[in-house]
Structure 1
Amino acid sequence: MDITFDNYKIDLLSTSEGEAFFDLIDTNRARLEDFFAGTVSKTRTLKDTLEYCVEIENRIKVKSYFPYMITDVYTGQFVGLVDVKNIDWNVPKAELGSFIDSRYEGEGIVSKATNLVVNHIVKEYKFIKLLCRANTRNKGSIAVILKNGFELEGTIRRDYKTTKGEIVDLNYYGKVFD
């Protein structure tokens, strides 16, 4: 897989990149806690993150999770993530999540990366539906979702528990493919 745009490349996370993954999460931990609770909880320390990367590698092998890392080609640092999760091969459908390092926010990087990942996974894995979930407070994610042609399908009340224990409503956005 060779996905590139501007000064960035997109590739699946490999086990050898655990430290870089930890650095990205740790740098953005406070802003990710509410909306990436699972990832944040599994990456509290470098040791936890390295163990989680082994788990991720196994999930990639069995095609149950695809974490596409966005890398700055000049610095070699991870700047964001577009992940494909909650895969249902019976349909086939999946959920997308994404975030960008706060230092790169507002540049359109995660919007472009999401578009490229969507095109790749629809072609490669023949997904016929993709969905995204976002809390109404998460304006940045909603902007990325809408920019990529997803449409609001509805709001599921009391659907997600944040790291702080708050139960929040989530908007569900979908996109279908022929």
Structure 2
Amino acid sequence: MMTFDHFRINLLQPNEGEAFFNLIDSNRVRLEDFFAGTVSKTLTLEDAMNYCVEIEQRIKGKSYLPYMITNSTTNAFVGLVDVKNIDWNVPKAELGSFIDTTYEGQGISSKATRLVVDHIVGKYQFIKLLCSANSRNRGSMAVILKNGFELEGTIRNDYRTTKGEIVDLNYYGRVF
């Protein structure tokens, strides 16, 4: 477990489906474009519970590592830093993150991302981490830059949002 201020960070547990659903559901509108897969797999509480079973298998197989940010006072999930697109051959991975709207602008995502990066580099020996963000997503870009990632380039027409819009993504990397 990682901690800072009054928050803790742990891998998502199979019995936390309801808390996971509540976090996604209360932020659904703002997440639908850039967390399209997660949003589409958590449309109902039952969907979220089933998705958590799938995630449990992915964690065991080390193909996906979702680190939940929890308010230690309320025990509510307030955000996520996930490790995805893992390539053990290099080894490298991509990070994604979001924070509940109630907690935006408080530096929580930046601190949580820093702890997760330190943890996964130490535990899994990643030598490269990537992040991607649309240039309109100023909050994500701030978190990425605060954590020492550097712009590697912009890939044009790289991602389809939930609404069907094709957008460019800026890719940021950090080598360890």
TM-score (norm 1): 0.98
Q: What's the offset of the Cα at 1:159?
A: 0.5
Aligned to 1:95: 94
Count of residues paired in the alignment: 176
Aligned to 1:122: 121
Q: Which whole-Å deviations, capped at 9, do the CAs of 1:134-160 have from their partners, x for residues lacking one? A: 000000000000000000000001100
Q: Aligned partners of 2:22, 2:112: CA distance in 1, in Å?
A: 20
Amino acid at match of 1:33: E
Q: Which whole-Å deviations, capped at 9, do the CAs of 1:58-94 have from their partners, x for residues lacking one? A: 0000000000000000000000000000000000000
Aligned to 2:11: 12
Q: Aligned partners of 1:119, 1:100: CA distance in 2, in Å?
A: 19
Q: Aligned partners of 2:75, 2:4: CA distance in 1, in Å?
A: 14
Three-state SS of the structure 2 residue aligned to 1:75 is: coil
Q: How does 1:29-40 map to 2 (within 5 A)?
A: 29-40=28-39
Q: Aligned partners of 1:143, 1:110: CA distance in 2, in Å?
A: 10
Q: What's the offset of the Cα at 1:108?
A: 0.2
Q: Which whole-Å deviations, capped at 9, do the CAs of 1:94-150 have from their partners, x for residues lacking one? A: 000000000000000010000000000000000000000000000000000000000
- The CA RMSD measured in Å over matched residues stands at 0.4
Q: How does 1:1-178 map to 2 (within 5 A)?
A: 2-177=1-176
Amino acid at match of 1:105: E
Q: Which whole-Å deviations, capped at 9, do the CAs of 1:17-36 have from their partners, x for residues lacking one? A: 00000000000000001111
Q: Unpaired segments of 5 or more residues in structure 1? A: none
Q: Unpaired segments of 5 or more residues in structure 2? A: none
Q: Aligned partners of 1:14, 1:115: CA distance in 2, in Å?
A: 21
